[in-house]
Amino acid sequence: MNRLTDPKSMGPRHYLTVFDLSCEEILSLINSGLRLKRHCKSGLPYRPAIGKVLGLLFEKASTRTRVSFESAMLQMGGSTVFMPSRDLQLGRGESLKDTARVLSRYLDCIVVRTFGQEIVDEIARWADIPVINGLTDLHHPCQVLSDIMTVIEHRGRDLKTLKMVWIGDGNNVAHSWIQAASRLGFGLTLACPEGYRPDRKILETAQAEATAPITVLTDPVEAIRDADVVNTDVWVSMGQEKEAQKRREIFAPYQVNTRLLAKANADVIVLHCLPAHREEEISEGVLEGPNSVVWDQAENKMYLHMAILKWAMRL
Ligand code: CP
Ligand code: NVA
């Protein structure tokens, strides 16, 4: 446990990558998300965040992460301030360290969605409030927690007995899944085209700590065989628009469609963090089919984000 996540430490608890959390903390956040979901569905109010303000500093587009964090905070009785970075003085050259210190005087917690991981790291370095990574080019650590919450809801808690498979780009979401597999001790098989494998350092660090195999293949058919959970994501992530045409050609054999899914177990569940590009990384038939749990997955972001905010702000 490091200084940033030690509950006994007086410093803020940041969540920048999955590796900021221990196995026990991850499971505790997911359990908290499951409890909060039951509580909210019961109609009883839960207002621990009255008087607290969450800032959302976003440099990239977002539907789910933005709205689920905003709704999570509002449901807990708090308030939110949405800050597109181009509208701040940051957009005119004010430094990250000055911005982080000033925002710390107004807010109780901040979610940052940006390009470079070093940007969110720098904000966390200077902020006196918890900083949560709402997606960077390298990681999407909140996403994987609500994804695993969804797996638990549909397939139970024994994650180590499930064959988890990632098909497609070795991107930010894949990196967070790799770190989660390592921390929680479940196996993960990825199928990625050559040149689009996960970041070598992230992969090797996770493999070094892992207690179950984290394997990267190139053949999606081999990877998906007997899968219990299949996960995919867009072929063109935010910021990669110029590579779109080339990526669509290279990734074509990696489409999760009914033909590929037929190689998995019959009761396989299909995850996609969304937004989906139908007939690119996933076919309409699979996205809307009986194995898809993507709408539950999207919903769970809100409850898991409530859990993260409660943890980060010590509510
Ligand atoms: N899954 C996800 O992060 O969606 P948004 O980009 O809409 O926030
Ligand atoms: N990999 C995608 C995830 C979107 C939620 C992206 O970074 O655009």
Q: What confidence tens digit (pLDDT) does each residue in 87-131 have?
A: 999 999 999 999 999 999 999 999 999 999 999 999 999 999 999
Query: Token digits for 46?
Result: 């839960």
Question: In the predicted model, what is the mean pLDDT of residues 310-314?
Answer: 98
Coil, strand or helix: which one is 37? Answer: helix
**pLDDT-derived band of residue 9, with 50, 70 and 90 as boundaries?**
low
- Ligand 1 pocket, 65 CB below 6 A? yes
- 64 C-alpha vs ligand 1 centroid, how far in Å? 4
Average pLDDT of 2-14?
65
pLDDT of residue 3: 44
Confidence class of residue 225 from pLDDT cuts 50, 70 and 90?
Answer: very high
Query: pLDDT tens digits for 21-48?
Result: 999 999 999 999 999 999 999 999 999 9
% of the chain exceeding 90 in pLDDT: 97
Residue to substitute in 117, 146, 169, 173 for testing ligand 2 pocket (most ligand atoms within 8 angstroms of CB): 173
Residue 157 is predicted with a pLDDT of: 97
- The answer to whether 164 and 148 have CB atoms below 8 angstroms apart is no
84: which strand partners? 58
Higher pLDDT, 256 or 5: 256
Three-state SS for 301?
helix
Q: Give residue 136's pLDDT.
A: 98
Ligand 2 pocket, residue 276 CB under 6 Å: no
For the domain made up of 18-139+299-312, give the CATH fold: Rossmann fold (3.40.50)
pLDDT at 73 over 70: yes
What is the CATH code for 143-295?
3.40.50.1370
Decide if 18-139+299-312 and 143-295 have a common fold.
Answer: yes
Average pLDDT score, the chain: 96
Nearest-atom index, ligand 1, CA of 113: 8
Q: Of 113, 291, 260, which Cα lies nearest the Cα of 191? A: 260
Is the minimum distance from the CB of 272 to ligand 1 under 6 angstroms? no
Percent of the chain predicted with pLDDT > 70: 97
Domain ranges in the chain are 18-139+299-312, 143-295
> Residue 7 pLDDT more than 70?
no
Q: Under 8 Å CB-to-CB from 98, ≥6 apart: which residues?
A: none
